[in-house]
Amino acid sequence: MFISQAYAQTAPAAASSGTDTLFSLLPLVLMFVVLYFIMIRPQMKKQKEHKAMIEALAKGDEVIIAGGVMGRVSKLGDSYLSVEVANGVELQVQRGAVVQVLPKGTFK
């Protein structure tokens, strides 16, 4: 008496299902393309530059390691290197901990 009757509606005729699917996926594809060019591609470029910098390290290079400590490379190994931070004080760190290579003469 107080509840109204609910009637099922017929489905609209599917005129062009293929184009509807394409237009519904288009925003998703566009968002992925924008994210690739704004976030993923620059990060990959930065990783490639860092890897090249680490592979080019040589004895005597002046570097900054991840903790912000500045020093001079005294020994090189495959995955580790020794950084002299003061006279007679050496730190052994992973190659990946090198953040930046400084110009010669910066570290005295």
pLDDT band at 5 (very low <50, low <70, confident <90, very high): confident
Q: Which CATH class is domain 58-108?
A: mainly beta
CA distance 77 to 38: 36
Quickly state the pLDDT bin for 3 (edges 50, 70, 90): confident
pLDDT single digits (tens) 14-69: 555 667 888 888 899 999 999 999 999 999 999 999 999 999 999 999 999 999 99
pLDDT of 95 over the 90 cut: yes
pLDDT, residue 102, reads 94
What secondary structure letter does DSSP report for 106? Answer: S
Task: Quote the Cα angle for 14-15-17, to 5°.
Answer: 70
- Mean pLDDT, to the nearest integer, of 90-98? 95
Instruction: Measure the CA–CA gap between 105 and 62, rounded to whole angstroms.
Output: 8
Residue 39 amino acid letter: M
Domain boundaries of the chain, sorted by first residue: 17-56, 58-108
3-state secondary structure of 35: helix
Q: Is the pLDDT confidence value at 10 over 80? A: no
Q: How far apart are CA 18 and CA 22, in angstroms?
A: 6
Q: What is the pLDDT of residue 17?
A: 61
